[in-house]
Amino acid sequence: HLGDNITGVFWAAFVLFSWTTGSIMSGALLERVRMSGYLILTAIMGGIVWVIAAAWGWSYGGWLTVHFGYHDFAASGVVHGIAGIFTLGVLFRLGPRIGKYDRSGGARNFKPQNLHLTLMGLMIIFTGFYAFYAACLAITAGTAPGWANIYFSPATLSAITFTITMGFAGGFTGGYIFSKGDPFWTLSGGLAGVVTVSAGADIYQPSLVMILSFFAAGIAIWVGNFLAVRMRVDDAVGAVAVHGVMGFIGVLLVGVFASGYPTGVAGVETSLLGQAVGVAALFPLAFLSGYIISGILKQFNMLRVPAEVELEGLDIAEYGGDFFPEFGMADEMIVNADGSEELAAPVLLAAFHDLKST
């Protein structure tokens, strides 16, 4: 329909965001998930779970929007929250990587070897976020054409562009300060910042975005460490903390800082209660879906690779080639729970033998 400037644009955005959910989950499951199981999880999350969430809250006709004024402009909850918490359910079933925890239960930290690639990848993600935000807008037709979001509320491209930039800046700064200069969490802090403010990016003041994203980075770091140390959840890239937890916190923050803003064609006012109802509906949808589906895959031995394959490396076992021949396990360092460092190879081999003997 050539006169439809809204539905077609957002259909393309829906497809884009369904792919995004799978990419969010991929990093958290690194080094131990079967490719077949991952593809099934991605298809179900991106093709069913995310679509249900979007129909509920990322639509001008969704029941969360119509009845509760739910506002989630750039999908903090319906994309990032759904993907992150779905991943949390999968991680409970998948289990930690070999050697992640010592015999006393202390969490080890695998030191990164390719920070230049990490920086490059995250900068590509940040660049893509500008397109992600732009995909949440469409040009309305009529006597006074302009920009509108998914809820048919007015919005401007220039405003959200500035908002996302402030979100990156605040998140980067907070990540650097709260992590005391840790490279991984400095970069992830920028991502956590923009995920948090995405729900209200079309209506927030830029100064508020800077403040919210700054503290969001600190919260994400704390959540990531809590999950690893206390909950024994081995999330290789912090996806649950950065996307899942901060995504839903971002949804709640709209109810705090944008309460009373009209949402949707019915003009229902945004409220903390309405945003909380959205979180209460979306959180269990995501977690239970991931937990149940991964449990079924585990029963059929389709979730995790054998221990021998994990130790050898999935690039060799799955694809028959070593993608990083210049790096070897003999050079990799691991940080123990007490802060001491040692070569990873003997630690992982010892953990492997412990696993086989149990």
pLDDT tens-place string over residues 42-86: 999 999 999 999 999 998 889 999 999 999 999 999 999 999 999
What does the pLDDT read at residue 153? 81
Domains of the chain: 7-307 (1.10.3430.10)
Tens digits of pLDDT across the chain (358 residues)? 445 555 566 677 788 889 899 999 999 999 899 999 999 999 999 999 999 999 999 988 899 999 999 999 999 999 999 999 999 999 999 999 998 998 888 888 887 777 888 889 888 988 888 888 887 887 665 545 577 788 888 888 888 888 889 999 999 999 999 999 999 999 999 999 999 999 999 999 999 999 999 999 999 999 999 999 999 999 999 999 999 999 999 999 999 999 998 887 778 899 999 999 999 999 999 999 999 999 999 999 999 999 988 888 887 777 776 666 555 555 577 778 777 777 676 776 777 667 766 6
CA separation for the pair 160, 143 (Å, rounded): 24
What does the pLDDT read at residue 2? 46
Query: Three-state DSSP class for 221?
Result: helix
Cα-Cα end-to-end distance for the chain: 62
- Judge contact between 193 and 172, C-beta under 8 A: yes
In degrees and rounded to multiples of 5, residue 33 shows phi and psi of -90, 145
- What tokens appear for 94 in the block? 């998948």
Q: Please give the torsion angle defined by the CA atoms of residues 271, 88, 119 and 319, in that order, rounded to the nearest 10 degrees.
A: -140
Closest CA to 74 of 141, 161, 139, 4: 161
CA separation for the pair 30, 112 (Å, rounded): 13
Sign of the Cα pseudo-torsion (172, 207, 162, 164, in order): positive
Token pair 């690893």 is at which residue? 228
What does the pLDDT read at residue 1? 42
CA separation for the pair 195, 211 (Å, rounded): 14
What does the pLDDT read at residue 43? 97
What does the pLDDT read at residue 10? 66
CA separation for the pair 323, 343 (Å, rounded): 21
Query: Three-state DSSP class for 148?
Result: strand
Token pair 């729900």 is at which residue? 199
Closest CA to 239 of 55, 110, 82: 82
The rounded Cα 29 to chain-centroid distance in angstroms is 12
- What tokens appear for 214 in the block? 């700054």
CA separation for the pair 34, 31 (Å, rounded): 9
- Judge contact between 156 and 164, C-beta under 8 A: no
What radius of gyration do the chain's Cα atoms show?
A: 21
What does the pLDDT read at residue 14? 81
